[in-house]
Amino acid sequence: MKFIINGGKKLNGEITLSGSKNAATKMMIASLLTDEPCHLENFPIIGDTEITAELCRTIGSEIILDKEKNILNIHTPEIKNFKVDSLTRRNRIPILALGPLLIRAGKAEVPIVGGDKIGPRPVDIHLNALQEMGVKVEISPTSYKAFAPKGLHGAKINFRFPSVGATENIILAAVLAEGRTVITNAATEPEIIELIKMLQKMGAIIELGANRAIYIDGVKKLKGVTHEIIPDRMEAASFACLAVATDGKILIKKARQEDMITFLNALRKIGGEYEVTNGGIIFYRSTPLKAIKIETDTHPGFMTDWQQPFVALLTQANGISEIHETIYEDRFGYVQDLNLMGAEIKVLSKCLGELSCRFNGKNFLHSAVIKGPTPLHSANLVVRDLRSGIVNVIATLIAGGQSMIEGIDEIDRGYFKLDERLRNVGAEIERVE
Ligand code: EPU
């Protein structure tokens, strides 16, 4: 499937955010921890939640999705299958099912989650921590086999890096483990806090300490829950960049200021403007756009998933902008697409900034220098990964003329009916087979 886009128009109107992809998928896994029904409201109907539903069904979940009301009912009375290695390995969620499977079935087998177009993405932090909790892990060429014959026990775990997935993995494993688990240098992204809130409603005991510490006291049983998923802050940033880049004005309904503080500051510094209202945030341009220096970081820093749409926007800003990507070693592949369209962006292996970075001195192209403003022209592009895909859409909507974007299934993994919602703000975008 592809998008045909006629760009160059100012986009105006309203877009309503979907529920967060990176919260919803983890909550589906959290539901596996109880034999009682769970109800997830504001549920995003996107590719990644479909893939996760397939995983949960394989494990034994009964799932009913109310597409009108966006409610997912998920109930796993028993674990029918602890082995999910036959799944097609299309996203990175199965590794998070290790804890729930070990707790309810004593063993687990999940597919190896390999690297992808944004880097090798190892899972050593997840596996080392699980081992400290009494889990034995065997690695085969295609899967991780895990056993906990004596059950899981609490442990003191210090992460070498505040990994989002590893933090979620250990929380999911620890809530029903024997005793207390302490995670230091944990990640604290809003999606993780939401997972904690859901688990707390299910009966878990989880405390947040100072300096990225999380304390979990294992309980015997968790119960069912109804939980509303937070709006997707990656979608919010994508649409905000689109409004400002096209010199339009868009009310992003349900956008939450508290999840986007760093983004809002960066946007204002470059000449973008916003008004926080009861229903959401209105984004527009107040002055000609100017350059900025940004370093991506773990929460509450400027998040790596905002980096790509922001760079598309910075092609329209006056001066030299610099981005230092400190989370992923290889997240600038899409720059080739922007340069093909007329942008002037160089990628470097040097650290451009002050944050200490794991990629310092290594040969990873993890910094970018953007010279703007550059008019963009239309192009035919192929989507590289989800967030590169949104850059392709933003850039072709900025550019004059007709563009084609192929491989949009990747965009559908994270953005609900993107074309339909963009047409509502005046974009000329069609989906064709
Ligand atoms: N890392 C390791 N070892 C590990 C785990 C992570 O070296 O065991 C490294 C990774 O290779 C990466 C960095 O740590 O360089 C960050 O990885 P993290 O574990 O924090 O990320 P994740 O859990 O795999 C989630 C989101 C990503 C988002 C990151 C960072 C989901 C499903 N994915 O990934 O979202 O970029 O956190 O915030 O929640 C996206 O939505 O497009 C996306 C990629």
pTM greater than 0.95:
yes
User: Which residue's CA is the closest to the ligand 1 atom numbered 25?
Assistant: 164
Q: What is the largest CA-CA distance in the chain?
A: 64
**The pairing of beta strand 293-295 with beta strand 319-324:** parallel
Collapsed DSSP state (helix, strand, coil) of residue 173: helix
**The pairing of beta strand 344-348 with beta strand 367-372:** antiparallel
Q: What stretches of 101-246 adopt beta strand conformation (E)? A: 107-111, 136-139, 143-147, 156-158, 180-184, 205-208, 214-217, 226-228
Task: Find all residues with CB under 8 Å of 279, minimum gap 6, and list them.
Answer: 251, 253, 254
Rounded Cα distance between 59 and 286, Å, is 51
Q: How far does the centroid of ligand 1 lie from the alpha carbon of residue 105, in Å? A: 27
Q: What does pLDDT average to in each consecutive run of 10 residues of the chain (433 residues)?
A: 97 98 98 98 96 95 97 98 75 92 95 65 92 95 91 97 98 98 98 98 98 97 98 98 98 97 98 97 96 97 97 98 96 97 97 93 96 98 95 97 96 95 98 94
Q: Which of 35, 48, 66, 116 is catalytic?
A: 116
Burial class of residue 59 (count of CB atoms within 10 Å of its CB; 0-12, 13-18, 19+): buried
Q: How far does the centroid of ligand 1 lie from the alpha carbon of residue 326, in Å? A: 12
Choosing from 18, 20, 21, 22 the residue with most ligand 1 atoms within 8 A of its CB, the one to mutate for a pocket test is 22
Q: What stretches of 190-229 adopt beta strand conformation (E)? A: 205-208, 214-217, 226-228
Pocket of ligand 1 (CB under 6 A): 22, 25, 92, 119, 121-126, 161, 163-166, 187, 234, 303-305, 327-328, 386-387, 414
> Is 232 annotated as catalytic?
no
